[in-house]
Amino acid sequence: MSRIRKGYEDRFRALLRQARARRLEEGVRWLVEKAGKLSAREGISLANSLARVYERLASNRHFRSPPPAPVSIHFLCDAGLGGLARWLRAAGYDTAWQPDIEDDHLLREAQSFPATLLTTDAMLMERRLLRDRIIPAFWLPPTLSIPEQLALVFREFGIVVRGPRCMSCGGELRRVPKEALRDRIPPKTYRWLDEFFVCRRCDKLFWHGTHWQRILARLAELKH
């Protein structure tokens, strides 16, 4: 819980700084105390009460996020955010992710990519490269589900759903005539679909089957 609390304190601090609050640390303490009272009053976990206080604050027009991020934004997810990485790729964003990547390696990757680092590790945010904003980074509460993580990233960075990228590596997809892929497409799929795509980066084959329809339905929810 101490890491989650630390993460929310940093988020509160960022919102208050954006609103040019005069008593920054006092404001952070007051918000944490408010969450503690909410937790006790409604019998919910402190993590949930911190989330509710943050959401209310972030939805206030005085604390809204900066203008939308540039179209060319790239993301790098830490080892625990593989699910989020796949969904960001499906939504059209080049997103790197490696399982079991060490923190030092993660930071080097963020610098060389270059990319905005997404992490659930509040302690990682204390590293100088992140604390001093040399590497752009964003902390996500580890208690969130993948759909909640995705919605938060979309709101925080002002991004919208775009054409899908490869869900395996994030590479750009190119449409290829199915006749050229006959040997790679399952016979039944070949008969009932006409559009097929190949990743320019890893050469994986994709098509828009029933699984893709479910993905589209979930992504459509981000527009509301």
pLDDT, tens digit, for every residue of 182-204? Answer: 999 999 999 989 999 999 999 99
CA distances (Å), 120 to each of 38, 45, 125, 155, 183, in order?
Answer: 23, 18, 9, 17, 42
**Across all residues in the chain, what is the average pLDDT?**
86
- Residue 199 host element (H or E): strand 197-199
Q: With 70 as the cut, is the pLDDT of residue 169 above it?
A: yes
Q: With 60 as the cut, is the pLDDT of residue 1 above it?
A: no
Where do we find the tokens 């509040």? 122
pLDDT at 184: 94
pLDDT tens digits for 100-139? Answer: 899 999 999 998 888 999 999 988 888 889 888 889 999 9
The letter for the amino acid at 213 is Q
* Side-chain half-sphere exposure of 182, counting CA atoms within 13 A: 2
Quote the DSSP letter at residue 126: G
Q: With 70 as the cut, is the pLDDT of residue 224 above it?
A: no
pLDDT at 222: 74
Domain spans in the chain, listed from the N-terminal domain onward = 2-63, 68-224
pLDDT at 63: 66
How far is the C-alpha of 73 from the C-alpha of 137, rounded, in Å? 12
Residues written for the chain: 224
Q: With 70 as the cut, is the pLDDT of residue 47 above it?
A: yes
Residues 6 or more apart in contact with residue 104 via CB below 8 angstroms: none
pLDDT at 16: 83
Percent of the chain with pLDDT over 70: 94
Of 198 and 5, the structure prediction assigns the larger pLDDT to 198
